[in-house]
Amino acid sequence: MSLIKRNPAKEIGFWNGDFPVSRGLQTLQQNMNQLFDQFFRGDILDDGTLFTRSWMPAVDIHESENAYIITAELPGLKKNEVKITLDNNIITIRGEKKDEQEKKTLHSHRLERSYGLFERSFTLPATVKTDNVDARFDDGILTVTLPKAEEAKQKLIDVKVK
């Protein structure tokens, strides 16, 4: 991922003879690239903490008549390696995927799968009944069902035409 932002300050620096413009821009570009790479890898969590080895599992959020449903892809994790916490109206899913490398590995040809810590948080609408949250974990898919409060459910009203 590459993104180069024009920085007038650096150009002024060049005119003052502080340092060559090419070098300044190069470092800036490197820094930006690093920042973007980290961001999209999920190294920076919502609260600003930086993890050296972390990943961001894919999450879908759906809405049904009676509930909001969060599904997260967490292949390779066991039930007890995932923690869900509910703080006021913020739901947080966190855990750690342990490295499963073979002890006797001679050579790793490919390592594309993600390991390490992860954390994802979502702000729930006020209309969720937080005391009745249900979570399931099957074949690497975490499904969290958040039932809606009565008043949030869709009501059908027949409007009579006079």
Partner 1 sequence: MTENKKNQESFEHGDSQNGVKSDVRLIVPPVDIQETAESYILRLDIPGADKKNISAQINDDTLSVSARVDSYFEKDTALFYDNSMPMEYRREFSLANDVDTTAVNALYDLGVLTLTLKKKQQCLPKEIEVM
The binding site for partner 1 (CB under 8 A) comprises 60, 62-66, 69, 71, 73-78, 100-102, 104-114, 138-141, 143
Least Å distance between CB 60 and partner 1? 7
Nearer to partner 1, 5 or 104 (CB): 104
Strands in 134-138's sheet, in edge-to-edge order, are 67-73, 141-147, 134-138
Nearer to partner 1, 87 or 100 (CB): 100
- Would you state the structure tokens that stand for residue 140, as one six-digit string? 């690497």
Least Å distance between CB 59 and partner 1? 11
Q: E strand or H helix at 138, and its extent?
A: strand 134-138
Nearer to partner 1, 83 or 113 (CB): 113
Nearer to partner 1, 50 or 106 (CB): 106
* CA–CA dist 80, 142 (Å, integer): 12
Nearer to partner 1, 156 or 161 (CB): 156
Least Å distance between CB 56 and partner 1? 14
Least Å distance between CB 119 and partner 1? 18
Least Å distance between CB 4 and partner 1? 29
- Would you state the structure tokens that stand for residue 74, as one six-digit string? 């967490």
* CA–CA dist 59, 144 (Å, integer): 11
* CA–CA dist 28, 34 (Å, integer): 10
Nearest in space to 98 (alpha carbons), one of 111, 117, 79, 120: 117
